[in-house]
Amino acid sequence: MHPSAAEFSERASEEFGFEVEVHEFPEGTKTAADAAEAIGCDVAQIASSIAFDAGEDMVVVVTSGANRVSESKLAALRDVDDEAVGMADAGEIKATLGWSIGGVPPFCHDTAVPVYFDETLLEFDTVWAAAGTPEAVFPIAPDTVLELSGAEPVDVAE
């Protein structure tokens, strides 16, 4: 197992008592479509954790692979101007969350940040999220993501 995936698995167990079932795909799961194809699930079941700058804060949006995040809706949630919302810088993501782009899990971040959860993911019994690397994912119930991440379910899809 990749060291970052092992670290995520250990942290999830230690911090939350959650046992992660890591699935690794050497060909990578960098996009939601890649992940869905490798796993054999619907792209809508991919729970992508995307870091945004929203005003002065970094936030994580866990969104369905079938959706794009509406920066306008995120701006409204954060009560900032639309221009104040954009993708976070890769270095800032690594420094703040402890994970690299493509491998950001929905919880076990180094720094507590607000987490929003695409409500369309609640339609599924199981979703698949990144487990610390772009090659590693794990299955999880959407309600468990909400519980462990402290996320707020919201309408963030374009």
Where in the chain are the domains?
A: 3-154
With a cut of 50, list the residues of the chain below it in pLDDT: none
Q: Look at residue 33 in the predicted model and tell me its pLDDT.
A: 83
Q: Look at residue 27 in the predicted model and tell me its pLDDT.
A: 73
Query: Tokens for 144?
Result: 């468990």
CA gap 130, 134 in Å, rounded = 7
List CB contacts of 76: < 8 A, sequence separation 6 or more. Answer: none
pTM of the model: 0.91
Q: Rounded to the nearest 5 degrees, what angle is found at the Cα of 62, between the Cα atoms of 59 and 64?
A: 145
Q: Look at residue 125 in the predicted model and tell me its pLDDT.
A: 96
Helices (H) and strands (E) in the chain, counts: 5, 8
Q: Phi/psi of residue 47, each to 5°?
A: -100, 90
Burial group, residue 28, by CB count within 10 angstroms (0-12, 13-18, 19+): middle
Q: Look at residue 34 in the predicted model and tell me its pLDDT.
A: 80
CA gap 96, 51 in Å, rounded = 10
Question: What architecture is the 3-154 domain classified under in CATH?
Answer: Alpha-Beta Complex (3.90)
